[in-house]
Structure 1
Amino acid sequence: MNLEVDEKNERIFQAAKEQFALHGYHQTSTNLIAEHADVSKALIFHHFKSKKKLYLFIIERSIDVMQSSFEKEWYTDKTKDFFEMMKKLVSIKMTIAIKYPMDNKLLMQAFHSPPKEIAQELQLLVIEKSQAMQTLSDDTIFSLLTPLSIREGVELEHAKNLIRIVFDSFAQRIVGEYDGRYEEMVYNTEVILADMDAIIDLLKYGVYKK
């Protein structure tokens, strides 16, 4: 979406982002947005055509803001250990979530409890926007996991798949535990990273004694 953001557009954007984050998609009306933006409802429809298009624009812009901030933080890090890099990834994401709490809350709601009528559009947007992050993960993080760094007899691709499954499950568990309480999640970074340390220890050294 290539909308020129003038002063009134910015007021609409900020008001809509806050109301969507606080009340959700269905409970946020264009009347409510217009009231908080101090503009007419007609102006909202003139610039954004519909509540759905306004919502998708906000989601896309919030993703861009957080990804841009992530990239700036990420490329200043010189960690070369695979698991430390995984922890750094989570830590940076949480730092950014704290820095942009409203954007984070909005995105967590949108992607984990998407409005049914726009779920498909959100999914396509995620796929489009996640390509850069996937490239970062594959080219930067998983490039540190080599045959020399894993136990003899373990296939490298098997190790990568296992680690992806474990960390994906970990992320889903955290999201589930903090469902509807995303502010608490971002302020419990140390607890979550300690949980990650325990998982990393198991991945590194296994469960059974030899």
Structure 2
Amino acid sequence: MEDKRDKILQVAVREFAEHGYKAASTNQICDAAGVSKGLIFHYFGSKEKLYTAAVAYSMDLAMREVSMEEMPKGDFVQGAIWSTKQKLSFSRKYPAVFQLIMQSYANPPAVLAERLRAYYAELMQVQEVYVNQVFEKVTLREDVSYEDARDVVQGLFDYTIKMATDYMQRHPNATMEDMQPLADKFKNMMAIVERGMVDKA
């Protein structure tokens, strides 16, 4: 029975990824999985719950395939680059799974939005660890608010992720060593944030 449930989920992932929540057809999922519609609703109860289960199935697969235990510790930039490299590798190996993860994160159906936001908030805590590492090492000036400083660092982090993603898309076999110039660039930008960029002499 578990084999049939897994087969339904695998087909549902492809159907939802390709067509989105609203346009996805449970009849098509039945046909492709070789099961009755009654069996789908026996396992999942509704299309909404099937979608949620398909997203959870996708995230579980992602977390098994990309173990956070292997992420470089203690280095903000290397962690960002490593994370980007793993994400791109996973997206090539499981395109439908990756597409559903991105789809449900960026544009969740209204009926599921609140639950999915809570689900992804837990996953984003890993990024929070790296942002917090920066502030463990610095003392802010009295006239600088923590919130503003955090927004700046978060912006640099997001920019680094974008640059790493663009680079990896152009050079899919790049190693961490190949991306060292990106790490150096991030550190230079962080130094500018810490020291300022205007010569007041």
Native 8 Å contact 1:82 1:145 kept in 2? no
Matching residue within 8, 12, 15 for 2:11? 15
What residue in structure 2 maps to residue 106 of structure 1? Answer: 100
Matching residue within 173, 189, 200 for 1:202? 189
Inter-CA distance 100–185: structure 2 relative to 1 (3 Å threshold):
farther
Inter-CA distance 108–32: structure 2 relative to 1 (3 Å threshold):
same
Cα RMSD after superposing both structures:
3.8
Segments of structure 1 that go 5 or more residues without pairing to the other structure are: 175-183
What residue in structure 2 maps to residue 180 of structure 1? Answer: none
- Name the SS for the 2:35 alignment partner: coil
Partner amino acid for 1:9?
A: R
Give the total of aligned pairs. Answer: 188
What residue in structure 1 maps to residue 47 of structure 2? Answer: 51
1:127-166 alignment runs, 5 A limit: 127=121, 129-130=122-123, 133-134=124-125, 136-139=126-129, 142-143=132-133, 146-147=136-137, 157=146, 159-166=149-156
Residue 26 in structure 1 maps to residue 13 in structure 2: no
Partner amino acid for 2:95?
A: P
- Name the SS for the 2:108 alignment partner: coil
- The CA distance in 2 between the partners of 1:34 and 1:195, in whole Å, is 50
- The CA distance in 2 between the partners of 1:82 and 1:118, in whole Å, is 33
Partner amino acid for 1:202?
A: M
What residue in structure 1 maps to residue 169 of structure 2? Answer: 188
1:127-185, Cα deviation, whole Å (9 max, x unpaired): 3x42xx41x3344664366536x9999979565442113334676x79xxxxxxxxx97
- The CA distance in 2 between the partners of 1:27 and 1:162, in whole Å, is 39
TM-score, length basis structure 2: 0.72
Inter-CA distance 52–77: structure 2 relative to 1 (3 Å threshold):
closer
Inter-CA distance 81–154: structure 2 relative to 1 (3 Å threshold):
farther
Partner amino acid for 1:107?
A: I
Native 8 Å contact 2:80 2:157 kept in 1? no
Cα shift at 1:25: 1.1
Bigger drift between 98-107 and 193-202 goes to 193-202
Inter-CA distance 189–85: structure 2 relative to 1 (3 Å threshold):
farther
Native 8 Å contact 2:80 2:160 kept in 1? no
Bigger drift between 154-163 and 88-97 goes to 154-163
- The CA distance in 2 between the partners of 1:15 and 1:188, in whole Å, is 27
